[in-house]
Chain A
Amino acid sequence: MMEVENPAQKIWQDQPVEGIKMSAEIIQKRAAKFERRIMWRNVREYVASLIAAALFGYFFVTAHDVLSRVTFGLFIGAMLWIVVQLHRKGSATSLPRGVDTLTSLRLYRGELERQRAVVRNVWSWYLAPLLPGFVVYTIGYAIRFQRPSAWAGLALMDAIVAGLFVVVWKMNMRAARCLQRMIDDLNAVE
C-alpha cells in the first residue's frame, strides 16, 4: 500500500507509534455515551415547551371565564407551534459520515448557517407567537380588575415579560454572533 518516493515519506512512515488499541467494550461505552448526549440534547429542546403547554392546558380546563380560556388557548397554541418549529428548524442534525473532506466542510458550514438563521429569527418563531396570549391576558385582567393598584401590578408584570423577551432575544443574538465566528473560522481554514 505504501510507496516511498520521497525521504519525507520514509521519515513519516517510520516514526514510532504506540500501537493504541481499544477494546470493543470501551468503544461501545463511548459510543453509547455520545448517543445519550445527542438524545438528551434533542429531548431538552421539547420538554420545557411541552411542560408549559401541559400547564396552560390545566389552566385552560379550570378557567371560569371566556377571556381566560382564550388566553390559555393562545398560549397552548403558541407552545405547540414552538415545539413544531423547534423540530423543523432547530434540531441539531447529524452530518453524514464517510463523505469526502470538501463535502464534509460544506455540509458543516451549511449546518452552522442554518442554525444561525434559526437563532437570528427567534422573534418570528418563538417570541411573536407568545405575544397574542400576553395581550389577551393583559386586556382580560384590566377589564376584570378595574382599579389602579391592579393595573400597576399588571404594568409591572408586562414590563417583566417584556424584559424577558429582550433577554431571550439578546441571548439568541449572542448565539448568532458565536455561530458567525465559527462560520468565519471555517471559511478561513478551507
Chain B
Amino acid sequence: MTSAQDELYSEAAQTYGEALERLARAYEADADLGRDLVQEIHVALWRSFDGFDGRCSLRTWIYRVAHNVGASHVLRQRRTRGQELVGLEELENLADTNSGQSAADRGHALDRLLGLIQRLKPLDRHVILSYLEGLDAASIGEITGLSARNVATKIHRIKNMLARQFQQGGSES
C-alpha cells in the first residue's frame, strides 16, 4: 500500500462518499445488499488508485470505477433474479403508461425515481445517474465512453421522462 494510494482514496471517500451511496442505491434495491455494494465500491476504488495515472480527472476515475462495480453487480443479480432491464426509449414508454396514475398510487417521488432507474440497462443507468448528480454532458461522455451526440440524445430523453414524471405528475415526496 502506498501513501499516494491512501491519500487518493481518502479524498475520494470524503468528497464522493455520499454520491457513491446514492449510486449503490440505484444498483441495488435491498438496503443490506446496498451497504455491501457500497463497501465493494470502496474496496475497488482503493485498489484502483494503485494504477491511477492522472490521464483523466479524479472524479471521472471514481465514477468509472464505481459504475463498473455497479454494472458487474447488476449482471450478477440479473443472472440470479432473472430481472428484465430496459433501455431509456422503452422506459420512456413504460413511464408514460404510469403517468395516468394518481400521485398517491405512485408513492414517494424518490421511490418512483429509484424504481425507474433500477429498471434501466447499466449504460443508460450510468447516464441518468450522472445527470441526476449534476454532471455535464462532456463529463458523462468521458465516464461512459459514449459520443457527445449519443449523450445529448439520452439526456434529452431523460429530461422529457423526468419532466413528465416529476412536474406534470406532481413531485410529492
The residues of A with any CB-CB pair to B shorter than 8 Å are 1-4, 6-9, 11-13, 15, 17-22, 24, 26-28, 30-31, 34, 96-105, 108, 181-182, 185-186, 188-190
Contacts and interface: CB of A to CB of B under 8 A. Distances in A.
Contacts of B136: 3
Nearest to B74: A189
13 contacts: A1-B134, A8-B132, A8-B166, A8-B171, A11-B171, A12-B113, A20-B35, A27-B46, A98-B56, A101-B123, A101-B144, A102-B146, A189-B121
Given A15-B25, A17-B22, 15 more contacts: A2-B133, A8-B109, A11-B113, A18-B35, A21-B17, A27-B46, A28-B1, A31-B47, A98-B61, A100-B145, A102-B123, A181-B79, A185-B75, A186-B75, A190-B123
B110 interface: yes
B101 interface: no
Interface in B85-111: 85, 109-110
A100 B143 contact: yes
B38 A20 contact: yes
B105 to A, nearest CB: 18
B52 to A, nearest CB: 7
Contacts of B47: 31, 34, 97
Given A2-B134, A12-B132, A98 B51 contact: yes
A104 B68 CA distance: 7
B13 A21 contact: yes
Contact of A31 (B46, B51, B85, B163): B46
Interface residues of B, number: 59
B44 interface: yes
Given A1-B134, A102-B123, A186-B75, A6 B146 contact: no
Nearest to B61: A98
Contacts of A17: 18, 21-22
Contacts of B85: 188-189
Contacts of B17: 19-21
A98 B45 CA distance: 9
Nearest to B39: A22
A34 B173 CA distance: 40
B78 A185 contact: yes
B27 interface: no
